[in-house]
Structure 1
Amino acid sequence: MGLLIFPDINFLDNDLYSTSEGPVTPADLITFVLIISFSVLLFRVLTIYLRRSLKDRISKDVGEPILKLIYYGSLVIVFIAALPLIGLNPSGLLLAGGITGIILGFASQNIVGNLVSGFFLMVERPIKIGDQVEINGTAGYVTDIRIISTLIRTYDGLLVRLPNQQVFTTNITNIVGHPVRRFEYTIGIRYSDDANAAIWLIKDLIDKEPFALQNPSPSVFVSDLGDSAVKIVVRIWAPVSEWFGLKTRLLWDIKCTLEENGIEVPFPQRVLHIKNNSGKKPQEFEGLKEGHFEGNEGVLNFEGRGVN
């Protein structure tokens, strides 16, 4: 009759190494790994649940930093609490970590600067996730604000990573930071056209646009008398969500409406007046042959220079 051989599980109680906190066994190591793994899984599920629950209550730019703080903060607490299982004293580790942090801080000032700048970005909130911004020549949508860097998706689909220190210390243009935005046209008409009629037609078009705000009110006026056109300035305020669409649509509507009413945008023109001096007698220019001039005339026309 065969004998059943069971594996020896007493090795889990064998001492692997000893520390000031006592001996550490394989069972302690397995318990430590299981606790950390279970905590990561638990906090990740909790973060997903909180993200879905808070989706309709708070904006994404406020909720994401809070969720990240809860997730990583909880993991750090669990990790420190489980350190005695592997024979490490949390107080000693914190002391060593503090000294190491000071050394690394001097060695990596840029990283520390990015960390501090990321904190101030989250507190001051000059930009939010989803905003259209222009930072240091990079324009696009803010997709994420992380601890060290900020991610921007440009208008042509490129993903740009900007260090937080660069973002915080440079000029930030938040395109959608204000609920309304103004745009401006400069339209030229012929001198023979009626400028008052053109202004009335443009104002009528603006009044028919539902997204052209009346407060602040639009303004249409003659701004300059150019070389070949009377220049009319058009200034309109619109909600930031409709700003681009209204700006591109209204300009073409103004052009078509003016042309339908006989008011045209002129081409650049220059009028030249040519003076004909062919009636002068050749003897009047005899002084040219001798290399001198009579009187104070210092400028000759083209026909004069050509006489022999």
Structure 2
Amino acid sequence: MNTRLLRHIGFWAAYLLLMGYLSGRYDMRFGVAYFSELLQLPAKIGATYLVFYWLETRPGESLLRLGLRILAVLCIAVLANRLLMYVYLHPAFYAEHYGMVFWHFDRILFTFIDVGTPVAAATAIKMSRFRQASRLREQQLVQEKLQSELKFLRAQTNPHFLFNTLNSTYALARREAPRTAEALMRLSKLLRFILYDCARPQIPLSDEAKVIHDLIELEKLRYGDRLQVTYEEQIDDPSQPIAPLLLLPFVENAFKHGASETRFGTHIAIRLSLENGRLHFEVCNDKEPDEAGAETEGLGLHNVQRQLELLYPGAYELKIEAGQKEFCVHLFISVDGGR
């Protein structure tokens, strides 16, 4: 038996003992008083739990309407108790002492108070426990907020440490290996963009174009003469807002499956245009003939497709062309229609 059920049984047992004792003091017939209270208890229990679990405040409901519903439940419980008293308890135990009029105002008011007392007492206990739980939950939320703030501060510290380390390595590489220094510088720009600029909901299209250019130059340093990249850009409004990291994954996917998985020289063509709020982004790369569907199954492309669905619903078109020797992605976005 769980603790909650024991608490409820204990409450009603204590209520029965108290009310039976108070009723029996009038004529010292405690047996009759306890029996009478026991028979009236189901109506009181029913009214109490209806108020507890069925008559809770509904969304948008006024307190007046809630109060009327509670009053209706109490009236039904009072009527049930009056019928029990009129039909059975009074004829059996009290008829010789006093008469009974069913619609007697004073007796109805007394019965209403009698039924309403356990409802009020139980509700007060429940509200007290609810307030205590709410206070505990509030303390937990404050603690969680402090922990989140601490994690955020630590997350800010880690990138600073990383950039300081990259800057130190860059200074050393300038003296020892100029090409390594250039790679570190471009890598630092990419990391700064991903960690800081991408925290904003939108960035200028020119910023996304710059990071694409940095990635291209970084990959050129890696693959050397084996990689040829054609990049074309025609943007009529460089300040046009766009969701960050929306175009970069397509370029990264081209290098991953075009340059790194091709045994010979490879060519990647990238075209970015924006005209009158209509963006067109195209990425094509050479591929090995036996690379069946690998590029379309990457996690990066799936993530970008999901972002497009969330950020530009009904305002984008994504075409993927997977040929035998070439893989192309065409993305069209009405950037003015995004969220």
TM over 0.5, shorter chain: no
- Please give the range of the TM-score, normalised by the shorter of the 2 chains: under 0.3
* Structure-2-length-normalised TM-score: 0.24
* Structure-1-length-normalised TM-score: 0.26
Structure with greater strand share of residues: 1
Structure with greater helix share of residues: 2
Point out which structure has higher relative CO (alpha carbons under 8 A, 6+ apart): 1
